[in-house]
Amino acid sequence: MREREDEWTGLMRSAISGDNAAYHRLLKAIAPVLRAAARRGLARAGQPVDQSEDIVQDILLAVHLKRHTWDANAPFAPWLFAIARNKLIDSLRRRGRRVFVNIDDFAETLPGEPAAETASASEVAAQLESLPARQREVLQSIAVESASIKDTAAKYSMSEGAVRVALHRALASLTAKLREQ
Amino acid sequence: MDTDQLIRTLAADNTRARPVGFVLALALLAAAPVSLLMFFAELGVRPDVMIAMRNPFFDLKFAVTLALATSAILVSLHLSRPEASMQGWGWLFMIPAGLLVAGISGEMMMPQRLPMMTRLVGQNSRICMTAIPAMSLPLLVAALFGLRHGAPTKPALAGAVAGLLSAGLAATFYASHCTDDSPLFVATWYTIATALVTAIGALAGSKVLRF
């Protein structure tokens, strides 16, 4: 437990200083923990647990867009769980339930717990359609076709900088749309 | 889009975001001229300011309002982090409150020309209660904009602190206009005006500071 969280903190420090691979590893590592917590939250609220993936993606987007609020001298897990808890409460509330989320939902994930299958998520995909064309193209190229920033730039005859800007804007507006729905 | 795809996409986006403090400072600097314009158009510095500056109770007003604004800036930056709580931070607001209490006791101990109630009621309570909230509004909008860049998980509380912040700054401007220098006047009317702005901030914060 402790070790896992120290590892996260280390990965996040590397990520903040520009190590994309460390960032990728960190997000991969936290996703199952978030998924398990989202399932528990949904189950307790009497909601179908197959919606957990929407919540996981919602949390991951928030983690990404708010990562500058993490203090590199503080441990990563409390910051992560605060964001996750906030997003979980929000999405349960949107689903029309008044619920109390226990912070232990996040902290107490047992290492031996079987990793839940990646369920399908529909909310992000649905909001994708409402993005401006350029942002959607860039996002789909990178997300779905796994193209690099460079390849995407070549494909749409954009500069790499413009691709980065379009990608970031796409992620930010996706998050905004998810919040408003 | 499945989660692995999303994760890969997030890892590809390495745009650096500015710190919340930087955005908050820029927003406040952009809004301050609006409030100052309101101040100089409608109120202006009191004519006897050079003499007033020799009165410690005139100077105390600035100590109180600036202490409030500074504490609120520190607390709001703290609250812009998701895991933050007020624990260990609330005492900062005891500084402006303590200065005010010290001022009131100081004034009590000195011989006064005017009776206590006259000093408390003063002559500018109406203007005080309209000018401070009015000049606060542009600053409040700026503070909320800056905090939106953060991740406050207690949006109403963060909004209330943004209200204290903007009221503290607006009251600093107003203090240079107002001829009522009694700490009793400040403790009454400035506090009512600040409470109003704080309530507006809490209400607005609960709406706009969710992320």
Q: What is the pLDDT of residues A54-100, one digit of tens each?
A: 999 999 999 999 999 999 999 999 999 999 999 999 888 877 655 55
Beta-carbon count within 10 A of B45 CB: 12
Walking along chain B (211 residues) 10 residues at a time, the average pLDDT comes out as 90 88 98 97 94 93 98 98 94 97 94 88 92 98 97 97 98 96 96 98 96 88
Separation CA A29–CA A8 (nearest Å): 8
A 121-150 near B (Cβ less than 8 A): 121, 124-125, 128, 139, 142-144, 146, 148-149
- Interchain contact, B1 vs A128, CB within 8 Å: yes
- Interchain contact, A69 vs B20, CB within 8 Å: yes
Separation CA B187–CA B200 (nearest Å): 20
| Nearest Cα residue to B164 out of B78, B88, B71 | B71
- Does residue A114 carry a pLDDT above 80? no
Tens-place pLDDT, residues A17-66: 989 999 999 999 999 999 999 999 888 888 888 889 999 999 999 999 99
Which of B1, B80, B151 is the closest to A143 by Cβ? B1
Kindly state the tokens that stand for B205: 């914060």
Separation CA B166–CA B69 (nearest Å): 7
- Interchain contact, A144 vs B16, CB within 8 Å: no
Q: How far is CA B90 from CA A166, A174, B131, in A?
A: 41, 36, 27
Which of A81, A121, A179 is the closest to B3 by Cβ? A121
pLDDT of residue B48: 93
Q: Which domains does chain A have, with CATH numbers?
A: 2-121 (no CATH), 124-180 (1.10.10.10)
Separation CA A32–CA B78 (nearest Å): 29
Residue labelled with tokens 């005891």: B94
- Residues above pLDDT 70, as percent of chain A: 86
- Interchain contact, A82 vs B13, CB within 8 Å: no
| Nearest Cα residue to B131 out of B180, B189, B182, B187 | B189
The ipTM (two decimal places) reads 0.87
